[in-house]
Amino acid sequence: MAVIHVEFAGGVELLFDNVKKLTIPLECVGGDTASKENKILTIKDLLQRLRQSYLKQRPELFLQGDSIKPGILVVINDCDWELMGGPDYALAPGDTVVFISTLHGG
Amino acid sequence: MPALCRRCSARAILKRPKTGDTLCKECFFEVFELEIHQTILDSKLFRPGLRVAIGASGGKDSTVLAHVMKVLNERYKYGIDLFLLSVDEGITGYRGRFPGNGQAERNSDLYGWSMDEIVKQIGLKNNCTFCGVFRRQALDRGAMQMDVNMILTGHNADDIAETVIMNLLRGDIARLTRCTAIITGAEGTLPRAKPLKYAYEKEIVMYAYFKKLDYFSTECIYSPNAYRGYARTFLKDLESIRPRCIIDILHSGENFAVKSSVKMAVQGLCSRCGFISSQEVCKACILLDGLNRGLPRLAVAGKIKKVNRVFAVSTSQRSVESASGDSGSPLTDDKQKPEAEVA
Amino acid sequence: MCQVEEEDLEKVAASEALAIPGESLKISDISERPCIKCGAPAAIHLRDEDFKCGACLVASVNQKFRIVLAKYKISSSKERVLVAFSGGPASSALLGTLRHATSGSIYSRLFLVPVILYIDEGASFELPLEERKKHLTSVMEAADSSGSAWLLLHSSLEMVFSSEPMQLTSEFVGGTALDVHTDTHCIERLGKLMRSVKTQTGKEEIAKLLRTTLMRKIARQLSISTLFLGDSVDRLAVQLITNTALGKGKRLPLDLGYLDAHDPICTIVRPLKDVTKKEIAMFNAVSEIRSVEVPVIQSVGDTRASVYSFTEKFVFDLQAGFPQTVTTLCKTGDKLCSVTAGKIGKKAEDDFCEFCLGPMDSSEKDSCTAENSIALSLRLSALLKKGPVDLEDVMSERRSGISSCGSKDVGCGDTETGGCCQSKEKKQPECDRLCYSCRWMMAELGDRTLLPDDLASELDQRGRRNKMRESIKEFLL
């Protein structure tokens, strides 16, 4: 089954009940309503999924509108998401997406 | 199609917020370290034989700072001795562990009060003031015990830009011109320097991520000053609109000049404990006195006259006490304390 | 990093005091309070215990206007002043205060002759000509409704490209539709310039530079040496943060002061500098002054579109919770000066930016500054990797032309050949004559020729340097 790996670091994990790693079946990312066959799933969809099913507290510390809160870095397969198309990056099976907060501690 | 490194055409892993350039992992490490090295050269920070303490909180900035300083000291032969120095504020779960073999100063050891105890007294409002004041002095005191010549802190470009905006918002003209300086500290105190002052927070976190440096990222359980929170959020949003803003704010900050007609507070030394202070008696002493007298809100209330009045009484009492051979101040006690424990 | 420091202490206490909900007073609560001056029922709550009735508020705004004018010495009676008018509330209030000051008792009357100037900026964001005509007419009507027989002029932003002496339409007859003063060739050039700038922030900065240049041109053509701007304290507070965020820290005092005498051609005066947006609204309501809002380039896009519009939202949101925000900001700005004391005697001709006329802010070579740091970053990423970097090499190159390397790098916008036009022997002298932020603007622009040809030469008047030196001395005192 095609899955993607999600990791939280730098303090973001605190918003997810201290869970540091998640494995999500790719087809689940789109949610129940999206037609599972044709839709290209992006980081945006992943953010919505995380919000609906995994985010435990204070969503405003993770999301701002539809996108990620400024100050949280997104690294897709060890690469800055700004180089991968940002929120519109199309997820592929086996991708690893890491969310790292720069806002915590120091 | 992933982007390519601007310098060597390998697979890029990062878009630099400072310039917008794309870099691969190796080039990023190289450039990041070189820039910090150049900051150190340009500001003539070190001379051989210097004993330098790194204020290590265990968070991302100080962890990266400690790592880079060790690398650079070996690579470019600064000839300095590096030490890690950590302050334990006494906040449950906040400083769970110390990085490596550093030295720890505890608030409760130095002042007889841990932050948890202080919060019990004062409540959640304003507790950051106590923590900030005490931590700053604890770092100084720890450094003196270790007999170092300089303290390095992990403040990055984002932190300094945030401070510039804060000082504009609250009209703190003296700190506005001071806050962009790479070395601070008045005569008679240890100089503090910020080698990461031109490094973006994003790059620091990315550096830690790709170097697999382990750091401590728990948020302090006591909420931070709300006003500063606004400035911080504003800055992060601004950075997402125009990443160069951070360095531009630093440039602005470095070019602020104060009219000669404006009076500014002169930094001197606290008459009680001898630490750097812009007032006759430093904040730590005032706060501590308030705590010990059961009037924790004394100094926070901002009524200088009242504070002075209380202190006039307090100093006269103290002279009587010391005449009778009983030193009542916990600060003077501390100076005679043996070395703080090593974590 | 947690950055709470000792000095935060007083501020925390101060902000607590500020948090008294001043703005949330209801109208009915206000009218129960007496005016602090005359005891009549108050109409406006300004701050703390400052309640005022309508009449006293109008008087106080007029008074603030006079205080600023007293600082600005009018050289001759019947001096003509150019008054920038946008149609908005602040500039309408400025006309109101001017009318008050120039009428009334002969003993207190100011002998100023205002010339009202509206600059239509529609072309900078491609507003259709029909719309521009409509806006122009309504703005001119608003100006006309001030009831004074002042000269009303209008021009358009694109005319900054025109080499012809400006034809200024001077007659306004109420009720007639006006023709926008424009030229297709100029519209094209402006459009090309605006399109070549990618970011909204850059577009706004360019438009601002063009507007200032055009107003200066017009002032010179009319032989007027004073320009009044209707900046309120709220607007200046936003400008302060925006300037800081764009690297124009050294320019702050010019953009915030009562008086900007840096420009030898035209002195800028801001008579409403101490008046808040709220006071202006009340002043206009009581004095029955009409104002119209016409779209400007800043109204394109949402609040996150540009540094200016985002900063505006930030400052006004903060102001709602902490009513002292804008005044504190402006007071901070007032304590800053643009020239460092030791520098006055130095070669003054090198100390001003050709474009914005702001003070130069280049760093010394090899000093530890933000500018040198970004110059190094640009250099390092331009340097192709061939084995380990020899820092000495990079540094010696940086040294050989740094105040320029950063600037030259960004100055010519040439990123292909490693960024530095040194290597290409291009003519780059103007980069050394631009301030930090104008160099970045040039970098974003890419092509110098897109700008009006006479932007620099316009400023390069005979005797300009000397005059400037004089004006700075004044400024310092």
- pLDDT tens track for B88-107: 666 554 444 444 434 445 54
Q: Which of B118-127, B153-162, B240-249 has the lowest mean pLDDT?
A: B118-127
C197 and C451 in contact (C-beta within 8 Å)?
no
pLDDT score recorded for residue C191:
93
Q: Is B221 within 8 Å of chain C by CB?
A: no
Residues B66 and B202 in one domain: yes
Q: What percent of chain B has pLDDT over 90?
A: 35
The answer, yes or no, to whether residue B119 has pLDDT greater than 90, is: no
Chain A CB contacts of B231 below 8 Å: none
- Which candidate from A14, A75, A83 shows the least CB-CB separation from B22? A83
Q: Tens digits of per-residue pLDDT, A38-50? A: 678 899 999 999 9
CA distances in angstroms from C201 to B132, B215, B244, C198, C246, listed in the order given: 37, 37, 12, 9, 9
Residue with tokens 């932050």: B115
> Is the Cβ pair B227, C329 closer than 8 Å?
no
Residues 374-433 of C with CB under 8 A from B: 374, 376-378, 380-385, 388-389, 391, 394-395
> Is the Cβ pair B205, A102 closer than 8 Å?
yes
pLDDT score recorded for residue B197:
95
pLDDT score recorded for residue C205:
93
C276 and C282 in contact (C-beta within 8 Å)?
no
Higher per-residue confidence, A72 vs B57: A72
Report yes or no on B35 lying in a domain. yes
Q: Is B23 within 8 Å of chain C by CB?
A: yes
Q: Is C474 within 8 Å of chain B by CB?
A: no
- Among C314, C346, C378, the domain boundary falls at C346
Residues B193 and B170 in one domain: yes
Residues C223 and C314 in one domain: yes
Q: How far is CA C274 from the centre of its chain?
A: 16
Q: Where are the alpha helices (DSSP H) in B242-282?
A: 245-255
Residues B189 and B51 in one domain: yes
Domain total of chain B: 2
B333 and B327 in contact (C-beta within 8 Å)?
yes
**For residue C121, which of C240, C215, C239, C242 has the smallest C-alpha distance?**
C215
> DSSP of C98-160, one letter per residue?
HHHHHSS-TTT---EEEEEEEEE-GGGGT--HHHHHHHHHHHHHHHHTT----EEEEEEGGGG
Residues C370 and C301 in one domain: no
The answer, yes or no, to whether residue B341 has pLDDT greater than 50, is: no
CATH number, domain with residue C253? 3.40.50.620
pLDDT-based confidence at residue C21 (cuts at 50, 70, 90)? very low
Report yes or no on B207 lying in a domain. yes
Residues B142 and B234 in one domain: yes
Contacts for C296-303: CB closer than 8 Å, 24+ residues apart: C296/C86, C296/C121, C297/C121, C297/C124, C297/C125, C297/C203, C297/C204, C297/C207, C298/C204, C300/C125, C300/C200, C301/C200
pLDDT score recorded for residue C339:
62
Q: Is C320 within 8 Å of chain B by CB?
A: no
The answer, yes or no, to whether residue A80 has pLDDT greater than 60, is: yes
Report yes or no on B124 lying in a domain. yes
The answer, yes or no, to whether residue C172 has pLDDT greater than 50, is: yes
**For residue C85, which of C190, C167, C172, C162 has the smallest C-alpha distance?**
C172
> Which of A66, A76, A82, A89 would best serve as a mutation to test chain B binding (most B beta carbons within 10 A)?
A82
Q: Is A7 within 8 Å of chain B by CB?
A: no
Report yes or no on C457 lying in a domain. no
Report yes or no on C32 lying in a domain. no
Most confident of B126-135, B288-297, B320-329, C361-370: C361-370
Residues in binding site of B? 55-57, 61, 87, 154, 159
C120 and C154 in contact (C-beta within 8 Å)?
yes
Residues B36 and B154 in one domain: yes
User: Å from C475 to nearest chain B CA?
Assistant: 11
Tell me how many degrees the CA angle C64-C68-C70 measures, rounded to the nearest 5. 115
Q: How many helices (H) and strands (E) does chain A have?
A: 2, 7
Report yes or no on C18 lying in a domain. no
* Beta-strand pair B268-269/A79-80: unpaired
B72 and B37 in contact (C-beta within 8 Å)?
yes
**Closest chain C CA to residue B76:** C391
The answer, yes or no, to whether residue C148 has pLDDT greater than 80, is: no
Residues in binding site of B for ATP? 55-57, 61, 87, 154, 159
pLDDT score recorded for residue C323:
84
B36 and B199 in contact (C-beta within 8 Å)?
yes
- What whole-number distance in Å separates Cα of residue B37 and Cα of residue B34? 5
Range B80-109 burial, b when 16+ CB lie within 10 A, else e: bebbbbbbbbbbeebbeebbeebbbbbbbb
Residues B208 and B274 in one domain: no
Q: Tens digits of per-residue pLDDT, A91-106? A: 999 999 999 988 765 4
- What whole-number distance in Å separates Cα of residue C261 and Cα of residue C269? 9
A9 and A20 in contact (C-beta within 8 Å)?
yes
> Is the Cβ pair C381, B31 closer than 8 Å?
yes
The full length of chain B comes to 343
Residue with tokens 């009542």: B328
Q: Is A57 within 8 Å of chain B by CB?
A: no
pLDDT score recorded for residue C400:
41
pLDDT score recorded for residue C357:
79
Q: Tens digits of per-residue pLDDT, C121-140? A: 999 999 999 999 999 989 98
Torsion region of C400: left, alpha or beta (phi above 0 gives left; psi -120 to 50 gives alpha)? alpha
Q: What percent of chain C has pLDDT over 90?
A: 26
- Among B258, B287, B314, the domain boundary falls at B258
**For residue C4, which of B222, B59, B119, B132 has the smallest C-alpha distance?**
B132
Residues B214 and B127 in one domain: yes
B13 and B1 in contact (C-beta within 8 Å)?
no
Residues C369 and C330 in one domain: no
Put the strands of the sheet holding C267-269 in their side by side order: C151-156, C112-120, C79-84, C226-228, C267-269, C259-260
The answer, yes or no, to whether residue C19 has pLDDT greater than 60, is: no
pLDDT-based confidence at residue C431 (cuts at 50, 70, 90)? low
B186 and B268 in contact (C-beta within 8 Å)?
yes
The answer, yes or no, to whether residue C110 has pLDDT greater than 60, is: yes
The answer, yes or no, to whether residue C161 has pLDDT greater than 50, is: yes
Backbone angles phi, psi at C63, to 5 degrees: -65, -45
Coarse DSSP helix, strand, coil percentages of chain A, rounded to the nearest 5 percent? 25, 30, 45
The answer, yes or no, to whether residue B157 has pLDDT greater than 60, is: yes
Q: Is B234 within 8 Å of chain A by CB?
A: no
Report yes or no on C419 lying in a domain. yes
The answer, yes or no, to whether residue C439 has pLDDT greater than 80, is: yes
Q: How far is CA B183 from the centre of its chain?
A: 12
User: Å from B97 to nearest chain C CA?
Assistant: 17
Residues C320 and C381 in one domain: no
pLDDT-based confidence at residue C468 (cuts at 50, 70, 90)? low
> Is the Cβ pair B2, A79 closer than 8 Å?
yes
Residues B139 and B282 in one domain: no
- What whole-number distance in Å separates Cα of residue C62 and Cα of residue C109? 12
Longest dimension (CA), chain C: 82
Is the ipTM beyond the 0.90 threshold? no
pLDDT score recorded for residue B309:
47
Residue C167 in 3-state DSSP? coil
Backbone angles phi, psi at C233, to 5 degrees: -60, -35
Residues B59 and B133 in one domain: yes
Report yes or no on C23 lying in a domain. no
From the CB of residue A11, how many other CB atoms can be counted at a distance below 10 Å?
Answer: 24
C413 and C446 in contact (C-beta within 8 Å)?
yes
The token pair at C170 is: 């001077």
Residues 65-124 of B with CB under 8 A from C: none
CATH homologous superfamily, domain A3-101: Beta-grasp domain (3.10.20.30)
Q: What average pLDDT does the structure give for chain A?
A: 86
- What whole-number distance in Å separates Cα of residue B45 and Cα of residue C47? 48
Residues C252 and C371 in one domain: no
User: Å from B259 to nearest chain A CA?
Assistant: 35
> Is the Cβ pair C247, B252 closer than 8 Å?
yes
C445 and C197 in contact (C-beta within 8 Å)?
yes
Q: What average pLDDT does the structure give for chain C?
A: 77
Report yes or no on C412 lying in a domain. yes
Report yes or no on B56 lying in a domain. yes
> Which of B205, B206, B219, B233 would best serve as a mutation to test chain A binding (most A beta carbons within 10 A)?
B205
Question: In the complex, which subunits touch B with 3 or more CB pairs below 8 angstroms?
Answer: A, C
Report yes or no on B287 lying in a domain. yes
Put the strands of the sheet holding B51-55 in their side by side order: B103-106, B81-88, B51-55, B150-152, B192-193, B183-184
Most confident of B2-16, B139-153, C341-355: B2-16
**Closest chain B CA to residue A79:** B13
pLDDT-based confidence at residue C457 (cuts at 50, 70, 90)? low
Residues B145 and B211 in one domain: yes
Q: Which domain holds residue B33?
A: 29-258
Domain total of chain C: 2
Report yes or no on C443 lying in a domain. no
Range C35-54 burial, b when 16+ CB lie within 10 A, else e: bebeeeebbbbbeeeebbbb
For residue B4, the cross-strand partners are B11
Chain B CB contacts of C298 below 8 Å: none
- Which candidate from C252, C307, C328 shows the least CB-CB separation from B170? C328
Report yes or no on C29 lying in a domain. no
The answer, yes or no, to whether residue C118 has pLDDT greater than 60, is: yes
C442 and C418 in contact (C-beta within 8 Å)?
no
Residues B308 and B162 in one domain: no
The answer, yes or no, to whether residue C91 has pLDDT greater than 70, is: yes
**Closest chain B CA to residue C395:** B38
The answer, yes or no, to whether residue B332 has pLDDT greater than 50, is: no
Q: Which domain holds residue C328?
A: 58-346
- Among B208, B230, B258, the domain boundary falls at B258
- What whole-number distance in Å separates Cα of residue B71 and Cα of residue C388? 15
Residues B50 and B191 in one domain: yes
pLDDT-based confidence at residue C442 (cuts at 50, 70, 90)? confident
Residue B75 in 3-state DSSP? helix
